[in-house]
Amino acid sequence: MNKKYIAFIIYMITFWMQPFLFCQNYDPETNLNIVKHFFIDGYAARNYDIINETIAEDYSGYSNGQLNKLKGPAAQIKGIEYELKVHPNFIIKIDDIFASTENKVTVRWTANWTDQKSGKQAILYGTWVAEVKNSKIIKSWNVYDLLGTSKRLKQ
């Protein structure tokens, strides 16, 4: 066989197999289970050990356009504690969850609590995208509809 032909074949195999050869934890099902474990068993259940287990130390969380709002598992726990202080009966649940082949998992969620001022039931809808690497959540982007919640409470 021609050396150029062999080199070309090796190059093509390396090029097309690159996502599988060099990507760690590229299993969508595993990533989905890690995020589900964080969201249900950690966040919703207020189990801080699971949050520490699933969030990377160098984690960065972005929320409604605020860059670098959360850093690491301690900041995530602090955010949950604040939510519970302001809304003691805060409940969050997963409405839909799916994983992509690019180490990202998307969660469509709903949160409920009783508004302390009006006594009305508040509902907040949001979407959270998490990036997983080495079995840890390393980044997330959270978008939620505070304006819609505010309008519903004023009705």
What's the pLDDT score for residue 117?
86
Helix, strand, coil percentages in the chain from 3-state DSSP, rounded to 5: 45, 35, 20
What's the pLDDT score for residue 1?
58
What's the pLDDT score for residue 14?
61
The whole-angstrom separation of Cα 100 and Cα 78 is 29
Burial class (CB in 10 A: 0-12, 13-18, 19+), 69: middle
Cα four-point dihedral sign 56, 38, 63, 133:
positive
Domains with residue ranges and CATH for the chain: 26-154 (3.10.450.50)
Full-model pTM? 0.79
What's the pLDDT score for residue 56?
95
Instruction: Check if the beta carbon of residue 73 is closer than 8 Å to that of residue 140.
Output: no
- pLDDT (tens digit, 0 to 9) for every residue of the chain, 155 residues total? 566 666 666 666 665 555 554 455 468 899 999 999 999 999 999 999 999 999 999 998 888 867 557 788 998 898 889 888 888 899 999 999 999 878 999 999 999 999 888 889 999 999 999 999 999 999 999 999 988 888 888 88
What's the pLDDT score for residue 58?
92
